[in-house]
Amino acid sequence: MKQVFDAYRVIEHLHEIPLEESKLPRDYRLTEPTMPMSPGLMWRGCEMQLCEYTMEVCEEASIRSRRQHPLMEDIAVHLEYATGEDTYMGKPSWFGNPEFHLSHQAALVRKNKTFYGRKFNGDDSLMLMWPTHASA
């Protein structure tokens, strides 16, 4: 499931995991670990919540494939790492922002109108909104 790899790539980026130590398949790894990464910026400071989200996506992938996703244990390790004493416990600042969510739904509809058009019926011309930080 692509969402697992996408979210895990952000976790590795935020936790500064060297490319040679990445648990991702080669075609999902970042080519430059220092490249600016919009999803990384929007989750910075909320790594715990990102790990929890990734675990949920992993669990769904496991249900669909009828076997545990191979990254599940690694995500649990990252979750432990992400829960230090200065951990932000709230939701990211963009969570629940209608403009943010509508812009991402519009991007999904543009990507596959047949599938996502049935789920989201908003304006598919909205530009994708990427927050530059997660916490307030």
pLDDT in tens, 18-49: 878 888 877 766 555 444 457 777 888 888 88
Q: What is the pLDDT of residue 86?
A: 64
- Co-location of 24 and 69 in the same domain: yes
pLDDT in tens, 81-115: 777 666 667 788 888 899 989 998 998 899 889 98
This prediction has a pTM of 0.72
In percent, how much of the chain has pLDDT > 70? 84
- Co-location of 58 and 14 in the same domain: yes
- Co-location of 70 and 108 in the same domain: no
Q: Which domain holds residue 42?
A: 2-82
Tell me how many domains the chain contains: 2
- Going by C-alpha positions, the residue among 16, 14, 19, 2 that lies closest to residue 69 is 2
- Co-location of 103 and 65 in the same domain: no
Please indicate, yes or no, if residue 54 is contained in any of the structural domains. yes
The amino acid at residue 99 is E
User: For the chain, what is the largest distance between any 2 Cα atoms, rounded to a whole number of angstroms?
Assistant: 46
Q: What is the pLDDT of residue 34?
A: 46
- Co-location of 11 and 72 in the same domain: yes
Helix (H) or strand (E) holding 104: helix 98-111
Q: What is the pLDDT of residue 102?
A: 93
Q: What is the pLDDT of residue 17?
A: 83
Tokens of 53: 């989200």
